[in-house]
């Protein structure tokens, strides 16, 4: 950008942000999809001609890079797509750039004279885009061609004229053509708004100025994130998470990242992840990029304008054919709530391990939030006699991860949308054939730590106004605690889901017969006598639960966040007891962890940095040591401190935290050999301990 006055830059930057907000309002006001209006699973933004996004709204962050892929796809084949003024293109192919087929995107070029100076892009999750099962999520699919329709790219508006025949072709494939039709019109309105406003800006300031500002916005965000990275310590940070059940078999899949931070750049290496699955839990490379983008925007760019510049600071490495880089024709229908969600979990965990090692950022380091989005879809004929399809958004209401300096938010939801929302129970009961028996916080769901993870919500519902319907029930995280805790804390509870057959009578609870489900029971008939009960994951906690203030634990009992049994088992605090009794019990519990009375040692030397709340890197006699709060020297010349800790298998101890573990998983706690303070809890495969997660570059 040449010689731009900072004043003109700021004026136009603000205008472009205002236009983006206007696009968001247009789309969200018009859309008929609860995924858009409530869950904000959509995208609006302005792009440079090359497909880099310069602005985006406060929406599901996984979608940040998606429309850019469609623009690049058009740019790569100009003779095929022949973009011209007044054109708009539609696409939804995960092998081009969508996260999964439900993500229908549109983009339109913005011209100044005969030159494209920008693109306007929109995207929204559409509830049904065809395929073998309702909502286009098919647990039995083995091939992407069995799932929703795929449009790599097609011109829907040709020089300002809507191609009705093409639109009909699209709508015909959906089980919810009205909803899709309304949304596609919303897309058109939204792109029109952007084109119109940019035209006015160009008329006033000239095209060069506008393109220059967009370029500088991206460069500015990149510079800000690079400056932040440069301020953080170098090293490699690892995180591993799992998803279970691929739709066919309850197999365990691993998504693993080694994030290396060097100077002002990051590399995310996903090579350690499992090969692609035969079922719909995979994601394509664009999904992998989306998951990483979601983590970076929330965790590193929380005060930086969101655009392509943020993502330029990182490289992603992963070979083809992994569960997060699935190759055609692998099915990917549930990618957003399966592989992408777990990619985001590990990227969030790795970034926060990095933040926890920085004096300036450690206070805001956060455990993993809401590690899954369980699915409850319902289809049939509703109480108004119309065919209906429902994709319940309530499962967003998991718990947030705890921060280093405060508890996680109960019902805080995931970090992939800054302004999430779920509908009122009454609205759901009015427009859909649902009847709730409860929607409340789930006790003991937040990860136990010095700072407690936020609680997840639980609901119990049956049908209302109809006698039967077909339900699709699936999740991951029923046997994997996905919300990893930080530095000695427990992860949040796993998802529990069950059907109580005959559990409702005239709106009231009846005994019935309870069938507990695994992760993916799939499609089933349910009636207005059956009660579906589900509890979503709580957030991970932060720090050893025995370090939680006893007063805070008692407040947890009073609010119902933690049951009296769990406070004893996990926190070592009784409901009505004096401080001395609590201290004694906690000391006994620490002793039990390490098999001897807790003690401490004096450590001299200079503290060079901290690793989370309880570990320090100390320089002594020309060497660097990782030292615990109690003074135990855990490692020397490197920060792989687990070698000096006492390990205990916690696999059998997960009940109080409401965690169920997949048969291939184990949990291990690591304790300070002197004090018995819990320093880490790892969830890992049964055949061995995982690699150390924090490997700082020492001077």
Partner 1 sequence: MLSRNGASGHPGYYERSRGSVGIDSQNRVFHVGTDVGGTFTDLWVSDGAGPARVFKTPTTPDVMTGVMDAVALAAGTLGLSIGDFCVRIRRFGHGTTVGLNALLTGTSARTGVIATEGFGDTLEIGRIRRQTSGLSEYEVTDFHLHNRYPPIVPRHLVREVRERVDATGRVLIPLDEAQAGAALEELAEAGVEALAICTLWAQANPVHEARLKDMAREVLPDAFLCVSHKIAPVVGEYGRMATTAANAALGPVAGRYLSRLEQSLRDHGMTVPLLVMTNAGGVLPTSALNDRPAFTLFSGPAAGVIGSRVMADRLGRDNILTTDIGGTSFDVGVIAEGRPLASTEFSVAGADLRLPSIDIASIGTGGGSIASVEFGDLTVGPRSAGSTPGPVCYGRGGQEPTATDADLVLGILDPDNFLGGRMRLDTEAAREAIETRIARPLGLDTIRAAWGIREILDNNMADLLRRVTIERGHDPLTFTLLANGGAGPSHAWSIARELGLGGFVVPAAATAHSAFGCGTGDLGISESTAVYVRVRHGERPSDAVLGAARDALERIERVVTYHLAAAGAEGDVTLERFAAVRFRGQTNALDVPFGGAGFDATIYDTVIDGFEAAYERLFGRGAGYRQAGFEIVELRVSGTAALAAATATGHGDTPRAHGSRPVVFDDPDAPVDTTIYHVDYPAPDSEVHGPAIIEFPGQSVVVPPGAIARADAYGNLHVTLEARP
- In the region spanning residues 499 to 518, those forming contacts with partner 1, defined by CB under 8 A, are 506-508
Ramachandran assignment for 294, one of left (phi > 0), alpha (psi -120 to 50 degrees), beta (any other): alpha
Task: Please state the φ and ψ torsions of residue 230, each to the nearest 5 degrees.
Answer: -60, -25
Q: Cα dist. 516→137, 473, 520, 612 in Å?
A: 22, 12, 11, 38
Q: For residue 620, give every residue at least 6 positions away whose Cβ sits within 8 Å of its Cβ, in sequence order, or none.
A: 603, 604, 605, 606
Which member of 560, 564, 595, 655 binds partner 1 (CB under 8 A)? 560
- Nearer to partner 1 among residue 297 and residue 627 (C-beta): 297
- Nearer to partner 1 among residue 5 and residue 511 (C-beta): 5
Whose tokens are 């690049």? That residue is 72
Query: Rule CB under 8 A: which of 375-404 touch partner 1?
Result: 384, 386, 396-397, 400, 403
Instruction: Please identify, among the stretches 460-468, 483-491, 516-524, 613-621, the one whose residues bind partner 1 according to the rule CB under 8 A.
Output: 460-468
Measure the CA–CA gap between 94 and 63, rounded to whole angstroms.
12
Q: For residue 657, give every residue at least 6 positions away whose Cβ sits within 8 Å of its Cβ, in sequence order, or none.
A: 444, 447, 448, 481, 490, 491, 492, 493, 566, 570
Query: Rule CB under 8 A: which of 225-284 touch partner 1?
Result: 227
Measure the CA–CA gap between 450 and 453, rounded to whole angstroms.
9
Burial class (CB in 10 A: 0-12, 13-18, 19+), 414: buried
Which member of 9, 81, 205, 501 binds partner 1 (CB under 8 A)? 9
HSE-CB of 161 using CA atoms within 13 angstroms: 5
- Nearer to partner 1 among residue 295 and residue 618 (C-beta): 295
Measure the CA–CA gap between 639 and 623, rounded to whole angstroms.
12
Measure the CA–CA gap between 564 and 37, rounded to whole angstroms.
39
Instruction: Please identify, among the stretches 4-12, 66-74, 332-340, 568-576, the one whose residues bind partner 1 according to the rule CB under 8 A.
Output: 4-12
Least distance in Å: CB of 16 to partner 1? 10
Q: Let me know: does 654 contact 647? Beta carbons within 8 Å.
A: no
Least distance in Å: CB of 117 to partner 1? 21
Least distance in Å: CB of 313 to partner 1? 14
568, 620, 628: which is closest to 599 by C-alpha? 628
- Nearer to partner 1 among residue 112 and residue 162 (C-beta): 162
Does residue 173 touch partner 1 according to CB under 8 A? no
Structure tokens at 515: 């069938």
Does residue 172 touch partner 1 according to CB under 8 A? no
Does residue 595 touch partner 1 according to CB under 8 A? no
Does residue 223 touch partner 1 according to CB under 8 A? yes
Least distance in Å: CB of 413 to partner 1? 5
Least distance in Å: CB of 278 to partner 1? 34
Does residue 164 touch partner 1 according to CB under 8 A? no
Which member of 131, 412, 447, 613 binds partner 1 (CB under 8 A)? 412
Least distance in Å: CB of 5 to partner 1? 8
Does residue 15 touch partner 1 according to CB under 8 A? yes
Least distance in Å: CB of 676 to partner 1? 31
Least distance in Å: CB of 375 to partner 1? 17
Label each residue of 347-400 as H, E or C: HHHHHHHHHCCCCCCHHHCECCCCCCCCEEEEEEECCCCCEEEEECCHHHCCCC
Query: Rule CB under 8 A: which of 305-364 touch partner 1?
Result: 306, 364
Which member of 173, 182, 591, 646 binds partner 1 (CB under 8 A)? 182
- Nearer to partner 1 among residue 30 and residue 620 (C-beta): 30
Query: Rule CB under 8 A: which of 286-305 touch partner 1?
Result: 297-298, 301-303
Q: Specify the DSSP class assigned to residue 650.
A: -
Which member of 423, 609, 659, 674 binds partner 1 (CB under 8 A)? 423
Does residue 21 touch partner 1 according to CB under 8 A? yes
Measure the CA–CA gap between 61 and 117, rounded to whole angstroms.
25
Query: Site size for partner 1, by CB under 8 A?
Result: 90
Measure the CA–CA gap between 256 and 238, rounded to whole angstroms.
7
Q: Cα dist. 434→165, 392, 512, 535 in Å?
A: 36, 10, 19, 17
Instruction: Please identify, among the stretches 42-50, 75-83, 458-466, 578-586, the one whose residues bind partner 1 according to the rule CB under 8 A.
Output: 458-466
Least distance in Å: CB of 179 to partner 1? 5
Q: Let me know: does 601 contact 673? Beta carbons within 8 Å.
A: no
Q: Let me know: does 536 contact 392? Beta carbons within 8 Å.
A: no
Q: Let me know: does 316 contact 290? Beta carbons within 8 Å.
A: no
Which member of 152, 464, 502, 512 binds partner 1 (CB under 8 A)? 464
Does residue 18 touch partner 1 according to CB under 8 A? yes
Strands 508-509 and 434-441: unpaired
Strands 88-91 and 103-112: antiparallel
Q: Let me know: does 244 contact 480? Beta carbons within 8 Å.
A: yes
Query: Rule CB under 8 A: which of 26-45 touch partner 1?
Result: 26, 28-34, 37-38
Structure tokens at 115: 């030159």
Contact mark string toward partner 1, 112..131, x via CB under 8 A: --------------------
Least distance in Å: CB of 482 to partner 1? 17
Instruction: Please identify, among the stretches 134-142, 189-197, 565-573, 605-613, the one whose residues bind partner 1 according to the rule CB under 8 A.
Output: 189-197
Least distance in Å: CB of 647 to partner 1? 32
Least distance in Å: CB of 314 to partner 1? 18
Structure tokens at 693: 């997660």
Q: Let me know: does 203 contact 111? Beta carbons within 8 Å.
A: no
Least distance in Å: CB of 607 to partner 1? 25
The C-alpha torsion from 345 through 347 and 352 to 358, rounded to 10°, is: 180
Measure the CA–CA gap between 72 and 301, rounded to whole angstroms.
25
Does residue 435 touch partner 1 according to CB under 8 A? yes
Which member of 315, 359, 510, 558 binds partner 1 (CB under 8 A)? 558
Least distance in Å: CB of 159 to partner 1? 15
Least distance in Å: CB of 381 to partner 1? 13
Instruction: Please identify, among the stretches 93-101, 239-247, 439-447, 627-635, the one whose residues bind partner 1 according to the rule CB under 8 A.
Output: 439-447
- Nearer to partner 1 among residue 22 and residue 653 (C-beta): 22
Strands 115-125 and 235-244: unpaired
Query: Rule CB under 8 A: which of 55-94 touch partner 1?
Result: 58
Least distance in Å: CB of 295 to partner 1? 12
The secondary element (H helix, E strand) that includes residue 225 is helix 207-230
Query: Rule CB under 8 A: which of 191-220 touch partner 1?
Result: 192-193, 220
- Nearer to partner 1 among residue 256 and residue 352 (C-beta): 352
């Amino acid at each position: 950008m040449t010689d731009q006055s900072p004043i003109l830059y700021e004026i136009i930057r603000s205008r472009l942000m205002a236009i983006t907000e206007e696009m968001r309002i247009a789309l969200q006001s018009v859309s008929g999809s609860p995924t858009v209006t409530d869950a904000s699973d959509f995208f609006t933004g302005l792009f440079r001609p090359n497909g880099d996004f310069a602005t985006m709204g406060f929406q599901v962050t996984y979608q940040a890079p998606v429309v850019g892929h469609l623009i690049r796809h058009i740019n790569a084949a100009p003779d095929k797509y022949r973009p011209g003024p007044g054109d708009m293109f539609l696409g939804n192919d995960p092998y081009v750039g969508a996260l999964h087929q439900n993500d229908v995107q549109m983009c339109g070029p913005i011209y100044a004279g005969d030159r494209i100076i920008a693109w306007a892009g929109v995207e929204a999750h559409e509830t049904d885009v065809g395929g073998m099962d309702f909502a286009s999520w098919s647990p039995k699919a083995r091939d992407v061609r069995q799932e929703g329709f795929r449009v790599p790219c097609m011109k829907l508006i040709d020089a300002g004229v809507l191609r009705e025949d093409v639109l009909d072709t699209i709508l015909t494939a959906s089980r919810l053509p009205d909803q899709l039709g309304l949304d596609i019109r919303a897309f058109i309105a939204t792109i029109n708004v952007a084109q119109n406003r940019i035209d006015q800006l160009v008329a006033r300031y000239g095209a060069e100025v506008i393109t220059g500002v967009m370029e500088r916005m991206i460069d500015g965000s990149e510079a800000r994130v690079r400056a932040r990275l440069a301020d953080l310590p170098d090293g490699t940070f690892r995180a591993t998470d799992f998803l279970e059940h691929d739709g066919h078999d309850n197999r365990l899949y691993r998504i693993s990242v080694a994030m290396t931070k060097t100077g002002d750049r990051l590399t995310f290496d996903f090579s350690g992840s499992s090969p692609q699955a035969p079922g719909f839990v995979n994601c394509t490379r664009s999904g992998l990029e989306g998951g990483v983008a979601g983590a970076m925007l929330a965790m590193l760019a929380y005060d930086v304008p969101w655009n392509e510049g943020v993502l330029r600071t990182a490289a992603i490495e992963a070979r083809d054919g992994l569960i997060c880089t699935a190759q055609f024709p692998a099915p990917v229908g549930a990618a957003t709530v399966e592989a992408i969600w777990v990619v985001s979990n590990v990227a969030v965990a790795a970034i926060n391990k990095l933040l926890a090692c920085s004096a300036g950022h450690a206070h805001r380091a956060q455990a993993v939030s809401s590690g899954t989005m369980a699915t409850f879809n319902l289809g049939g004929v509703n109480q108004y006699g119309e065919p209906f399809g429902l994709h319940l958004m309530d499962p967003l209401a998991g718990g947030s991860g705890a921060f280093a300096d405060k508890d996680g938010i109960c019902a805080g939801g995931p970090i992939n949308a800054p302004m999430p929302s779920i509908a009122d129970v009454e609205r759901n009961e009015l427009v859909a054939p649902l009847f709730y028996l409860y929607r409340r916080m789930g006790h003991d769901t937040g990860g136990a730590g010095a700072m407690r993870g936020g609680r997840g919500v639980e609901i119990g519902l049956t049908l209302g106004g109809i006698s039967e319907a077909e339900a699709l029930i699936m999740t991951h995280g029923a046997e994997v605690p996905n919300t990893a805790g930080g530095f000695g804390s427990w992860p949040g509870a796993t998802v529990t889901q069950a059907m109580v057959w005959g559990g409702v009578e005239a709106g009231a609870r009846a005994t019935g017969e309870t069938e507990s489900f695994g992760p993916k029971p799939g499609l089933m008939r349910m009636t207005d006598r059956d009660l579906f009960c589900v509890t979503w994951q709580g957030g991970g906690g932060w720090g050893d639960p025995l370090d939680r203030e006893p007063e805070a634990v008692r407040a947890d009992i009073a609010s119902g966040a933690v049951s009296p049994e769990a406070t004893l088992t996990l926190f070592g605090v009784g409901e009505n007891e004096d401080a001395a009794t609590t201290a004694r019990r906690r000391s006994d519990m620490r002793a039990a962890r390490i098999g001897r009375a807790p003690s401490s040692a004096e450590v001299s030397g200079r503290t060079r940095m901290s690793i989370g709340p309880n570990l320090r890197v100390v320089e002594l006699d020309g060497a660097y040591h990782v030292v615990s709060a109690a003074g135990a020297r855990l490692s020397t010349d490197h920060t792989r401190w687990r070698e000096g800790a006492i390990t205990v298998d916690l696999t059998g101890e997960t009940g109080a935290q409401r965690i169920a573990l997949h048969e291939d998983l184990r949990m291990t706690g690591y304790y300070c050999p002197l004090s018995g303070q819990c320093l880490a809890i790892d969830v890992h495969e049964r055949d061995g301990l995982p690699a150390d997660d924090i490997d700082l570059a020492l001077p």
